[in-house]
Copies of this chain bind each other. A is one copy, B any other.
């Protein structure tokens, strides 16, 4: 009888017209396929196409001159070769363990891989995901058979904006069953991102689940905020509707978000079982989120004992824009005085990041003032690969 139902179900899916692939009407091949020798094969069916390429951050970059004259590093492209209507490309060498994104370029048009349902939105571009495990760090990004924390999509009321705004909150395994109170780590996204960014590309829940299961990180609550104060939520998740995601939104980098941040802390302390003091609070963010973390921790020096700046956008505060950006040096002195000095002030950046210079200058300033920090320099630029690395390095240092 089950077979009969499946047959009927096949007919039904044909009617819906959108799941033929599952039923043999679509891809008869695997893409991407991780081969035993760790090379990867990509396949795309396009009998009438003239060229199909694959592009993604698993390929070496190449210099490309932009229309504005800038010369930038673009991910390389692999040329697929056609046989019987299916195009194929296998990487010449094994692909190192990492989480990558990739796209196909069909006759010059960038598109997704129809054989891979795992997609990721970064600002306004949807790409496919490819995760190659096999080393200790990358295995942190995988869902493992360990106790899992819960992920909550919740709404707090912002008095500053007079609207409800969305947060992603991770609570560690055992939170629901117990009565224990937990420390809280506020984790902030970059420009163009939102409360989904660390949850999706950032693999924050997997990284925390695995680090906690291994005993390397303390069980903690992680709060992933939306740093675009004028928005209720990630694109499509607020009453703004299915808007086109964009960068440089209003109330994103002009002090409002930083000024209003205690609203979020108050909401979390009221609605979750938190250890509600500075000793048990951390804040970190990537790029714009590092900028926010730097500013918030300086503006509220009694709030956070752990501060992480991941590829942070530093040195872009204009005192004319917001009171939060005024008297920054004096506030930094207060943040680092004997009473307030954070247990950990952490700076991480890649050596080809376009923000490397401003981070170096900021470190020199801290050095000259005798303010201690922990520094991690990696290779690579302003990319998610680095931010996941920094999270996996930073989280174990918290609340010890």
Interface residues of A (CB under 8 A from B): 1-2, 4-6, 8-9, 11-23, 26, 30, 45-50, 55-57, 61, 64, 66, 70, 72-75, 101, 103, 106-112, 114-115, 117-119, 121-127, 129, 131, 142-145, 147-148, 150-155, 163-164, 166, 173, 176-177, 191-192, 232-233, 235-239, 241-242, 244-248, 253-254, 270-271, 287, 313, 316-318, 321, 353-355, 381-384
Minimum CB–CB distance from A41 to chain B (whole Å) comes to 15
Which of A6, A118, A144, A355 is the most central at the interface, judged by chain B CB atoms within 10 Å of its CB? A118
Number of copies: 2
CB distance B106 to A14 under 8 Å? no
CB distance A101 to B153 under 8 Å? no
| Chain B: CB-nearest residue to A8 | B354
List, in ascending order, chain B residues with CB within 8 A of A150's CB: 152-155
List, in ascending order, chain B residues with CB within 8 A of A246's CB: 22
CB distance B109 to A233 under 8 Å? no
**What separation, in Å, do the CA atoms of A56 and B1 have in the docked complex?**
31
CB distance B191 to A61 under 8 Å? no
A101-B18, A192-B19 in contact; A253/B153 too (CB < 8 A)?
no
List, in ascending order, chain B residues with CB within 8 A of A61's CB: 15, 17
CB distance A103 to B18 under 8 Å? yes
CB distance B383 to A235 under 8 Å? no
List, in ascending order, chain B residues with CB within 8 A of A17's CB: 55-57, 61, 74-75
Minimum CB–CB distance from A263 to chain B (whole Å) comes to 15
CB distance A19 to B316 under 8 Å? no
CB distance A114 to B126 under 8 Å? yes
CB distance B15 to A73 under 8 Å? yes
CB distance B151 to A6 under 8 Å? no
Minimum CB–CB distance from A143 to chain B (whole Å) comes to 5
CB distance A253 to B19 under 8 Å? no
Question: Could you list 18 further interchain pairs (A-B, Cβ under 8 angstroms) beyond the known A145-B232, A151-B153?
Answer: A2-B248, A2-B254, A6-B248, A14-B74, A15-B72, A16-B57, A20-B125, A21-B123, A22-B125, A23-B247, A47-B107, A49-B107, A110-B114, A112-B112, A144-B239, A145-B239, A148-B166, A150-B152
Option from B126, B151, B164, B236 in Cβ contact (under 8 Å) with A152: B151
Can you list 7 A-B contacts with CB-CB less than 8 angstroms, sorted by A residue number?
A15-B72, A15-B74, A21-B110, A114-B125, A115-B244, A147-B155, A155-B173
